[in-house]
Amino acid sequence: MLANSQTALNRFLWSLPQPIFVLGFCALSASACLSGWIDPWVLFTLVLWLSFPVLLVAEWLMPRREDWNLDLTDLARDTFWVLATFLLWVPLYSKYYDPTIGALFASLRDTIGLTFSLQAKSVSGLVLMALVVILAAEFITYWLHRLQHRFLFFWRMHATHHHISKISVGRCDRTHPLEFIGLNVGLAAIFSLLGASEHVVAVAVMFKVTTVHLNHANLPLRAGVFGWVFTTAESHQLHHSLDYHESNTNYGCAVILWDRVFGTFSSKPEVDNVGSGSGKPLSIFTQLALPFFSDKKLRKL
């Protein structure tokens, strides 16, 4: 009885860090937007880059699984993907792709005749509006993600993210540059369609990025109440399962609600092995080349 109580207490305590950090940084971002004590994008940059060493140290001190601990080769490869993502892929898509998607949905907004906009003048209001944006954008992302797992044509751009043999925060950014074509649609579309203010955009991006990175951390985080609606490390890491059927659950990147609604949610608390196909790690070159492999070669990996 005492052991069960301690286990329940332990699960509860480990359900707190993710919502505290995610919502806390969102509140900081909202505060920066309203009071100007720091530029919200400077704050975002600081949070982003400082989170990697902090979470890596936390993974070393309190790993969810010790067999997921990284060696120097793992760290070097993860560093490549993180730097490539935020110094190359994201800036390029932000400059040339996202504005095009935004313009298309802004035109749709005008055609439909939507006149409302998402904005707020309080910290709590900004966070709430950001959550509305995230819920709507993740509806789009959820279905695009399901398509990636259903059809080989789309899988070849997503496969890079699943060909990992360990879970760690930097693995969040092991994403093929072509996959951003789909990844960026949800937020870019909803920002324009719902008329989100610049402040709402800043807070929503803070929520999305902090959530998805924590979801990949090798820490004993638990879902808790936050996991009723939003994706947590516990639910997302099951999506990385080497088991095919388990990997076809919990598609939500930041919102798990749509999995619950459409019947793809799994509450299994632990994943046995992570990866895809044979489960063997692939070189950086191979991962970048995956979209150009033949169907036969792709299936053999």
Average pLDDT over residues 253-274: 96
Return the C-alpha torsion angle 212, 7, 260, 130, nearest 10.
-40
Query: Domains of the chain: which residue ranges?
Result: 15-60+67-300
pLDDT per residue as tens digits for the range 118-177: 999 999 999 999 999 999 999 999 999 999 999 999 999 999 999 999 999 999 999 999
| Alpha carbons 247 and 91: distance in angstroms, whole number | 30
Q: What is the DSSP letter of 89?
A: I
| Alpha carbons 119 and 242: distance in angstroms, whole number | 42
Place of tokens 């951390």: 217
| Alpha carbons 128 and 122: distance in angstroms, whole number | 10
pLDDT per residue as tens digits for the range 177-227: 999 999 999 999 999 999 999 999 999 999 999 999 999 999 999 999 999
Looking at residue 203, its amino acid is V
Crossing angle (nearest 10°) for helices 17-35 and 123-150: 120
What is the model's pLDDT at position 280?
A: 82
Q: What is the pTM of this model?
A: 0.95
